[in-house]
Amino acid sequence: MAMAASIAVEGRCAQARMAPPSRLGDKAFEWLTLAMALVVVMLIILIGWQLWQGSSVAIRKFGFHFLTTSMWDPVAEQFGALPFIYGTLVSSLIALLIAVPLSIATAAYLTELAPLWIRQPLVSLIEMLAAIPSVILGLWGIFVMIPWLRDYLFPLLKRLFGWTPFFTGPIYGPSMLAGGIIIAIMILPIITSVSREILRSVPNLQREAAYALGATRWEATRIAVLSYAKKGLFGAVILGLGRALGETMAVTMVIGNTPQIALSVFKPGYTLASVIANEFTEATTDIYLQALFEIGLVLFGLTILVNLFAQLLLRTITTTSTTRAVQ
């Protein structure tokens, strides 16, 4: 009897415990997290809308000429963004020319060629380079790099390549080339670390097959790893380009900030990001501010396109490795 009662009591307790818990908390939490995740969508729309709204008058007034004319005269209310677009593209191109070979060679060294004990410390150092704030690199650029470039590297380049139109004219120091070099330093870590991830994801079978055929370490790296990972490495480079286009502080501090289109990389230049940084708080008239918003819109469009392209290139490689915890 007593036993039956205790069983009944236990049963009731179990029932109470097993009673479906209120779903309200579950629903509320799911909706809350969903709302936070949707902030991402909202932010993209917010950026596009703000930039569009902020520049609508300028877009109507200047039309397509904004992108194709090179007169930037706030006093006369003449605004053409071409020198900034040119400066952004050229400085980023210089940066890529310097950073891409170095980064990919470093990534290959880190995954294929280096002794094992050296790999982790090197990776940590590269992560620390990535952590240096842009403004500090700019400070170093102004007071250390530019004097060195002006006194040593630029005269050397002028002597060697002075016969081409790219290395002519007087040497000031702040220049397109200085901007390109500082951007290169800033994008080295990201291209290196993404390339390293890509090379690490190359299946070992590739390497084993190459070694089985008698390849040396370098041959295996070149034939079995680098060429296998070509598409991913291209994605890493494009991702680096996306960062290069938007680099602001360090570039602003060393590029010279002169809106001109000059072939010589010794001449100062100006980028989309640096004109915003320099002139935004000085924009006294509405149309001036509008023009700067439109510069922002151009920069946003450019980086979005480049980033989308990079993500598409990288996505196809990484999706296979990411699996969801809860299906």
Residue the block writes with tokens 């509008």: 290
Question: Rounded to an integer, what distance in angstroms lies between the CA atom of residue 260 and that of residue 287?
Answer: 21
Min dist CB 133 to other proteins, Å, is 3
What the block records as the tokens of 134 is 């842009």
Helices 230-246 and 272-279, axial angle in degrees (round to 10)? 20
Other C-beta atoms within 10 Å of 287: how many?
15
Q: Measured from the CB atom, is 124 or 164 closer to other proteins?
A: 124
Q: Measured from the CB atom, is 115 or 170 closer to other proteins?
A: 115
Min dist CB 47 to other proteins, Å, is 5
Q: Measured from the CB atom, is 5 or 39 closer to other proteins?
A: 39
Per-residue three-class SS string for 126-175: HHHHHHCCHHHHHHHHHHHHHHHHHHHHHHHHHHHHCCCHHHCCCCCCCC
Close Cβ partners of 154 (under 8 Å, ≥ 6 residues apart): 171, 173, 175, 177, 266
Min dist CB 2 to other proteins, Å, is 28
Min dist CB 203 to other proteins, Å, is 21
What the block records as the tokens of 63 is 């039309």
Question: Rounded to an integer, what distance in angstroms lies between the CA atom of residue 258 and that of residue 175?
Answer: 9
Q: Measured from the CB atom, is 80 or 271 closer to other proteins?
A: 271
Cα radius of gyration (the chain): 28
- Of 253, 254, 206, the residue nearest 228 (C-alpha): 206
Min dist CB 286 to other proteins, Å, is 11
Min dist CB 277 to other proteins, Å, is 6
Min dist CB 235 to other proteins, Å, is 12
What the block records as the tokens of 156 is 């050397």
Contact 245, 67 (CB under 8 A): no
Min dist CB 78 to other proteins, Å, is 21
Q: Measured from the CB atom, is 3 or 18 closer to other proteins?
A: 18
Other C-beta atoms within 10 Å of 224: how many?
23
Q: Which helix (H) or strand (E) holds 72?
A: strand 72-73
Q: Measured from the CB atom, is 265 or 292 closer to other proteins?
A: 292
What is residue 246's three-state secondary structure? helix
Q: Measured from the CB atom, is 168 or 206 closer to other proteins?
A: 206
Q: Measured from the CB atom, is 108 or 265 closer to other proteins?
A: 108
Distance of CA 326 to the CA centre of its chain: 31
